[in-house]
Structures are given as C-alpha cells and as structure tokens.
Structure 1
Amino acid sequence: MRSYGFLLCLPLMGLPVWAESPAADAEREALEKWFEADTSEPPVVINEGQLDFLATAPAGEALHHHQNKVKITPESLLEGWAHLEQCHDNLDQAAAMQITFRDGYIRDMKITEQRNIGKAWVEGSSLQLSKVGADARICLQASTRALRFQDDGSYALLNGPYMRKFLDGYYPMQVSMQIEYPADLLKVAAVTPAAQAGFTVKQQPGSVGFDALFEGELRTSIQFEAL
C-alpha cells in the first residue's frame, strides 16, 4: 500500500494526502511563496522541480488519475470564481486520506460520486476519506477562486504541485485538465510546461486543456489575455 508523506494545501486543485509530517509546514510555506509570486513574468520561470514526463504508462499498474473541469464565465473575470468538477480514480488504498484545498479559495464543495470508499465527507476546505479500497473513485463539485488578475490586464490560472509521493520516491500519476472560457472575452497566451511527450496540450476556441503522465512534482500555468 502506498501513501502520501505530507499534507498539501493547493492554490486550486486538491490532491489526496495521507498524513501530516514535519515537512508539511515547510511545504506549505513554499507553496504560499510560489502562489503569491508575481506571475506577470513569462511563465517559463515556473520551477518544474524533479518533474519527469513519461511517454508511456507503466505496464500492469492502474495509475491514480486526477481529473479537473473548470468553467470560466464572464462573472469569473470580475470575481475570480469559477465552477470546478473534480474526480480521482484509482486512489491508493489507505485507512484515511484527505483532499485539501487552499483556505479561502474553495466554497460550496459537495461530493457527487464515490466508489469503494467507506466514508467521505466535506470538512472545511478539505474532503476527508476513510477506508479507501481498491479501484476507488471520488468526485466533487465546488466553486473555486481560479483566476489571478495581473497588473497588465491578463489572467493566470496556476495549478499544482501535483504529485504521488511515498517516503523519498515519486510514483507515476496522470492529471487531466479541461478549461472552458468565453472565447469572445479571452484568448490563451501561453501554457506551461510546453507540449511534449507525456504532456499533451489541447486547444480550440473557448477550450484549453492538457493531459499529463509523469513522476515528480508538476506545476502548470495557463495565461489568458483579455480581448
């Protein structure tokens, strides 16, 4: 059984975690500094850390798949809040687990689906899970303060770090993101990391997303320009 070594509070998207360790405070502080950093700089400044993209999935292993759908509306451009749908498939088996969000950046969270989980409930800005079994699935809906307004009039959506970690090692995982936005009000300026083997970017007017297969820590940035 694999578990997660420390608690993460993420800017936007939740990640399942197992237990808090002494490294948690330092990790949260680092995340806060990264999240509050000036994103008006080109997105290439994002540190990908120990990120290692995988061209193909490991054979014989059902990977944890973290799936997100974010809908940006005209109101989101004024308030920063957007609609979030999130699912996790193939969670690692554990007696207890939690999916956490950054305080103040999530509201109206509710569970929409669960499978092979003894109990799941919303507690503050987190989703608590107990008795997570094989082939487990959990889905939720919420409002998320997704967009950051920048001084030059553009917008940034930052996600991560996504990781699947046990002790000192990272294990493969898959993250999918789909973002809907008003094509008459916004256009995509940049997606970071750049498209490559293991990180596929999909774009069309009004929609942008990616599918990532990796080990390590993944941070992403999607920059929008106002029309």
Structure 2
Amino acid sequence: MASIVPDSRMAPGPLLLALVSLALLPLSAQAMDPDDPDYDPLEDDSLWGDTVSPDDTQTTSPEIKFLTEEPEQVPHHHQNQITLSQSSLEDGWVELRQCHNDIAPIRRMVIAYNEQRIEDLQVESTTNIDQAEARGDRVDLRGVHKDSEVCVTARMRVIEHEGDGVYKMENGPFVRRFLDGYFPMRVTIAVNWGDLDLRLEDTEPEAQEGFEVVESDHGIILDTLFEGELRTQVRLRNAE
C-alpha cells in the first residue's frame, strides 16, 4: 500500500476510492553511490530531511479515533474533489482534483497511485515547493517547505456498480504513520454528481462527532480529523 517514507506514497485500494494511505516510515540509513546502475534515489537516506519524531506521536494503535479539537500542530490536510458523470456510472471513471496542504517540510516526497486506476495525472499548482513533476502514476516533489501545497488532477476508476441502482465507493486506508505512532490527519472528500439522479444511501462510518457528512441534491462532503487508520464507504442509489 502507499506510504510517506520521508516519501509519501498514496495509492487507491482495489477498484476503489482509496485515494491516500499516508504512512510515515523510516528509511534505513545507508551510503549509496549515485553512479551505481542500481541506484534508487527513493532509497538514498542522504536525500531526506528530518523525519517526524516518534516522541510526538498521539497514539500507537491503528484503531480509528475521531478528534473534536484541532491538535497543537496543524495536521496534513488531504482534500479530494470528485466529479461524477453519466459515463462514470457505466465505466467507473471519475474526474479528480486532489490537494495536499500543510505537508511536513522535507527534501523529497513521492505521491504514488495505483497505476491501473489512474490516467492523465498532472500537477495543477504548487505553493512553497521547489519542484513538482507528474510521471505516469506518481508525482515527485522536491524541496517541500513550510505552508506548502500541491494540487493535482487526474482521471481515476473508483466506482463499482453493486446492482439494483446502487453504486459504491470505498476509501482508504487513510493513515499518517511513523514507526509505531499514528499522527492526526484531516481528510475531506467532496463528491459532486451534478444533475445525475442520485442520492446518498449510507456511509461507513456513519455521521458522528468528528466525522461530518454534509448532503445536498447534487453531492456530499465527508470531513474528518482523526488518528489511526480510516476506511470509508459511500453508497449512492438512483433516486428514481
């Protein structure tokens, strides 16, 4: 699954809207030779800046815990805007605009996606990031500074038809992790179906304190601040 090793890899789960899996993982300290034909910069410890200290962790359990108060440090905010069309209900492909805000400063980060579920990945904009390049199924970030943001656009295959007019999107796991610690993270998912005749059937988790579900005739918004690992499911039904 995807991970933020001082790089951050984010990959959809099978077929579904698992747009991010943020796991802060350590790199093994080792000297590497850039002239070596097997050299991989993602494994070169000398390229990375400081990682998050495990002493700052909030919990060591993957069990989801919704937060009702903002942590002292502004958490990584992962925002997704998903636009459905009639063809989305037929072939599963949607339009995605995704932004990552307040990324921890780091020398290099890679955002990686499931290559079988994504196409036309492009960097739309950056703030306080020296360089951002989309290459196939990943976005390579270099020189990530304080108050940074990167936004990308793509097409993703995330809709599954369950039959009887019901469509499902499963998301996750969303997680920001370092060693055995889990850190606060905010995730926002806005699903817009415009004039398609759809309505929300249900969500997992259900709406509760710390996990907000906002409904309208044209879409829904999920917004949550949490620690641990978050998996969500959204089911939509034809309103006819």
TM bucket (normalised to shorter chain) is 0.7 to 0.9
Residue 19 of structure 2 aligns with which residue? 13
**Rounded Cα–Cα distance in structure 2 between residues aligned with 1:168 and 1:200:** 28
Higher strand share: 1
Matched, 1:221 2:227: no
**Rounded Cα–Cα distance in structure 1 between residues aligned with 2:7 and 2:125:** 26
Residue 212 of structure 1 aligns with which residue? 224
**Rounded Cα–Cα distance in structure 2 between residues aligned with 1:194 and 1:125:** 32
| Structure 1 position 114, deviation (Å) | 0.4
| Structure 1 position 132, deviation (Å) | 1.2
More deviation, 213-222/125-134: 125-134
* Coordinate RMSD, CA, aligned: 2.5
**Rounded Cα–Cα distance in structure 2 between residues aligned with 1:219 and 1:114:** 28
How many matched pairs? 200
* Cα 1:166/1:4, change in 2 over 3 Å: farther
> Does the 8 Å CA contact 2:84/2:95 hold for their aligned counterparts?
yes
The equivalent position to 1:103 in structure 2, one of 91, 97, 115, is: 115
SS in 1 for 2:63: coil
**Rounded Cα–Cα distance in structure 1 between residues aligned with 2:27 and 2:63:** 20
What TM-score do the two structures reach when normalised by structure 1?
0.80
SS in 2 for 1:150: strand
The structure that has the greater radius of gyration is: 2
The equivalent position to 1:127 in structure 2, one of 139, 145, 152, is: 139
**Rounded Cα–Cα distance in structure 1 between residues aligned with 2:216 and 2:100:** 25
The equivalent position to 1:164 in structure 2, one of 158, 172, 176, is: 176
> Does the 8 Å CA contact 2:6/2:108 hold for their aligned counterparts?
no
Residue 40 of structure 2 aligns with which residue? none
| Structure 1 position 193, deviation (Å) | 0.6
SS in 2 for 1:195: coil
State the one-letter code of the partner of 2:12: L
**Rounded Cα–Cα distance in structure 2 between residues aligned with 1:15 and 1:99:** 10
> Does the 8 Å CA contact 1:111/1:139 hold for their aligned counterparts?
yes
Matched, 1:190 2:212: no
SS in 2 for 1:209: strand
**Rounded Cα–Cα distance in structure 2 between residues aligned with 1:114 and 1:80:** 29
Deviations, residues 101-140 of structure 1 (Å, cap 9, x unaligned)? 1121111111111011121111221111122111110001
Residue 114 of structure 1 aligns with which residue? 126
**Rounded Cα–Cα distance in structure 1 between residues aligned with 2:12 and 2:196:** 30
The equivalent position to 1:58 in structure 2, one of 71, 90, 100, is: 71
Matched, 1:154 2:166: yes
Residue 86 of structure 1 aligns with which residue? 98
**Rounded Cα–Cα distance in structure 1 between residues aligned with 2:9 and 2:27:** 7
State the one-letter code of the partner of 1:104: Q
The percent of aligned pairs where both chains have the same amino acid is 31
